[in-house]
Structure formats: structure tokens, C-alpha cells
Amino acid sequence: MTAGLDWTAEYGAFTYHGGALEVARRLRPEASEPWIDLSTGINPHSYPLPDLAPDAWSRLPGDGALAELEAAAARRYGAAGGNVVAGPGSQALIQALARIAPRDAVAVLGPAYGGLKSAFEAAGARVDEAKRLEDMTNLDVAIVVNPNNPDGRITPRADLLDLHRRLAPRGGLLIVDEAFADFDGEGESLAPVLPAGAVVLRSFGKSFGLAGLRLGFAIASAEIARHLRAALGPWPVSGPAIAIGAKALADRAWTEAMRELLGKDAARLDRLLEGAGFRVAGGTRLFRLVQKADASAIFERLLMAGILVRPFADAPDRLRVGIPGDESAWRRLAAALAG
């Protein structure tokens, strides 16, 4: 529980996942404007939106256009031999997987993104948290976030393949959530060597700074892909999302330049946070995980300054801080951290 909060009933909105800006505005209406949301781990440097043909808005998207988008994703993620399923955000794909996957014994390598556990529990599964890959053998579904959220831990591909081999005798399913893999640990992605009985999830919106577009991908075997498509139903992705997604996924130059820029941003953020007395405990190019005894008090101080970061109910000495998007945001963050 965060010290000093008089609105603890709504504190869960901040700890469940990032982006609870409406809650922050309601609870701190006197805070500085405009609000700076550093709680989500979304790239603050958005991909430039192309001009779209009018029929992207006026017509239902066709199967051919969706297939072209999925082919672009297969090329981008090195999944030439896999079946790519596009959906309205990776969270929607997680929810669909939870409905079609076995539910008797499910475990997440944790601590990790809480939306995975919640989705499977909502589908009726019993979900445990495993501390080590070695503890994830006798399962129907094993879930690994790679790079991990919130600490940025990267699990080597060889270890994931070993886990898959241990799950295979009982027909277990391995799900690897690679939401942050575009800029960190891409060389360890399971997508290029995907075995049967494994699913890789990739997020478009986080990497391209277009989370509101709601676009994500699952890479899976033909059978799992078929069940996923049935669970999502017709027209799972909007026409504008198809057009923008296909163009952005093919733009390798933008991704490489963004990886370099975000690397510099992450190093700058580390220096700023360390200067404020935090210890950097991990992270990716899109967020940093930091630790300090009075992190809860600093969360409240930042909130009063109109800056939302991510606290953790089970680790009140930790915060997750996203990358500021411009010099004004950098200056406001520095001033708020300085008190």
C-alpha cells in the first residue's frame, strides 16, 4: 500500500497495468497539466502516420488485405514458416488463447505482466507463478514474457526450446509474450524457430507508439492459428490498422533508427533516476525498473506534478518509468524528481 494515499480503493488501477490516466486526473485534479503518462512502456516517438485511401475507412477490410498484413508481420518477425494471426492488440490475442488453451495446470514465469494471469483465470484456469523455468515442466500451459515485464529479463532461446521439449510429452503449450522484443533481445525470439505446440505474441502498438491502433500478432502452428481465427471472428483488424501496420512493419530503417534513439533515451533516463537516488533494477529500451525505499512517496510526488509512473502493489519500493517523449517532459520529470 502506498504511504499517505487517501484513495487506496483506486490504487489498484495504477498497479494492474499502466495507462490509468483518467483515474490519475480524477484523483489529482490539481496536478500540473498536461499530464505526462510514463506508466505504459509505449514508445513515445510514434511512427509517422501515412495518408490512407478513403476506402480504408469506408469499406470492410478484405481477406486479401489482412493476409498481406500477416505476411508483412511474418517477414518482420522472421516467422517465414509460421502461421501469423493478426488481432486487435496482443491483449485480445491473450484473451482468445486463454479460451482455447487447456486450463488444468497453467503457470507464468514471474513476476510478469499481470494481464496474462488475469486472462487465464477469467477463462477458468488455475494459474500459478513459477520462479524458475525448471519448475515449469508438469504443465498444460507455460507462459514466459521475453523480454520480461517489468524487469527486462531476457530468457535465451535455447532455454525456451528446452522448456518446450519438457512440455511436449504431455502435450503442453508454451506461450512466449514478446511484446517488448522489437528493441531488446530480438536475437532470442522464438518466432524464427517456432516448434509445434508453441505460440509467440508480438505487440505492434508498443513498438511503433500507436497503441490506440490496437494491433498485435500471434505466431503459431496451423491448428492453433485456426482456433485463434475462429475465436477472434470476422474482421478482427480495422482497415486503417491493416494499411498502417503493413507499411510500418516493412520499414526496417525506421526500426533500426528507433532502436538507436531509444537506447540513448534509456541511458539518459538511467542517469536521471540514479541522480535522484534510485537503483536501476532492470528494464528495456521502452521502460526502466527502479528501486528506492521511499518509491511510494515519490510516486505521489510525481502524481502531484502531473506525471504518472507505474507502482507495484507487491513491491512498494519499486517503480517502472517509461521514456519521456520530448524535452519538456524530460525537464518536468527532472524537476519533480528533484522535489
Domain end among 215, 250, 285: 250
pLDDT for the residue numbered 81: 67
| 75 plus 114 within the same structural domain | yes
CA distances to 185, 310, 337 from 27, in Å? 37, 15, 20
N residues, the chain: 339
pLDDT for the residue numbered 8: 58
Q: At what angle do helices 90-100 and 222-232 cross, to 10 degrees?
A: 110
pLDDT for the residue numbered 14: 75
Domain end among 231, 250, 269: 250
| 81 plus 126 within the same structural domain | yes
| 276 plus 144 within the same structural domain | no
pLDDT for the residue numbered 4: 47
pLDDT for the residue numbered 75: 96
Question: Where residue 300 sits, what CATH number does that domain have?
Answer: 3.90.1150.10
Dihedral sign, Cα of residue 167, residue 168, residue 169, residue 172 = positive
Range of the domain at 194: 55-250
Lookup: cell for 34? 498536461
φ and ψ at 17, to 5 degrees? -160, 170
pLDDT for the residue numbered 18: 74
220, amino acid identity: A
| 209 plus 326 within the same structural domain | no
pLDDT, tens digit only, all 339 positions of the chain? 444 454 555 666 776 667 788 888 988 999 999 999 999 999 999 999 999 999 999 999 999 999 999 999 999 999 976 799 999 999 999 999 999 998 899 999 999 999 999 999 999 999 999 999 999 999 999 999 999 999 999 999 999 999 999 999 999 999 999 999 999 999 999 999 999 999 999 999 999 999 999 999 999 999 999 999 999 999 999 999 999 999 999 999 999 999 999 999 999 999 999 999 999 999 999 999 999 999 999 999 999 999 999 999 889 999 999 999 999 999 999 999 998
pLDDT for the residue numbered 20: 83
Number of domain units in the chain: 2
Helix (H) or strand (E) holding 218: strand 216-220
| 119 plus 238 within the same structural domain | yes
Q: Which residues contact 2 (CB under 8 A, 6 or more apart)?
A: 8, 11, 296, 299, 300, 311, 316
Q: Using alpha carbons only, what angle is made at residue 150 by residues 279 and 167, rounded to the nearest 5 degrees?
A: 135
| 316 plus 218 within the same structural domain | no
Q: For a pLDDT cut of 70, what percent of the chain falls above it? A: 95
Lookup: cell for 99? 479460451
| 107 plus 238 within the same structural domain | yes
